[in-house]
């Protein structure tokens, strides 16, 4: 079973957090955990709760989906 979320589903979750539709702290945490499982950008919560500029839910999801972790190919000398 593929449990990945598509862009529209991710946007809907971000929108819930932005519009403060979630009043229960546990539910808010579950939504954020779900988003962080699908969007690997470590700054995701900053985009939602402490943005450096005005961002829509679509902007947040697209920016987080564009994140590419740096791959370090360093090996210690043997």
Write the pLDDT tens digit of every residue in 41-50: 999 999 999 9
Write the pLDDT tens digit of every residue in 26-37: 999 999 999 999
Q: Is residue 33 included in any domain, yes or no?
A: yes
Domain span holding position 61: 13-65
Q: Is residue 5 included in any domain, yes or no?
A: no
Number of domains in the chain: 1
Would you place residue 2 in the very low, low, confident or very high pLDDT band (cuts 50, 70, 90)? Answer: very low
Model confidence at 20: pLDDT above 50: yes
Contact (Cβ atoms closer than 8 angstroms) between residue 64 and residue 41: yes
Write the pLDDT tens digit of every residue in 52-73: 999 999 999 999 999 998 887 7
Q: Is residue 7 included in any domain, yes or no?
A: no
Which ranges constitute the DSSP H helices of 1-78?
Answer: 7-18, 25-38, 44-49, 57-65
Q: Is residue 71 included in any domain, yes or no?
A: no
Q: Is residue 4 included in any domain, yes or no?
A: no
């Amino acid at each position: 079973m593929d449990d990945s979320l598509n862009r529209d589903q991710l946007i809907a979750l971000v929108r819930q957090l932005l519009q403060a539709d979630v009043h229960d702290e546990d539910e808010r945490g579950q939504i954020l955990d779900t988003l962080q499982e699908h969007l690997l950008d470590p700054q995701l919560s900053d985009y939602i709760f402490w943005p450096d500029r005005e961002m829509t839910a679509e902007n947040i999801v697209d920016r987080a989906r564009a994140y590419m972790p740096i791959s370090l190919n360093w090996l210690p000398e043997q």
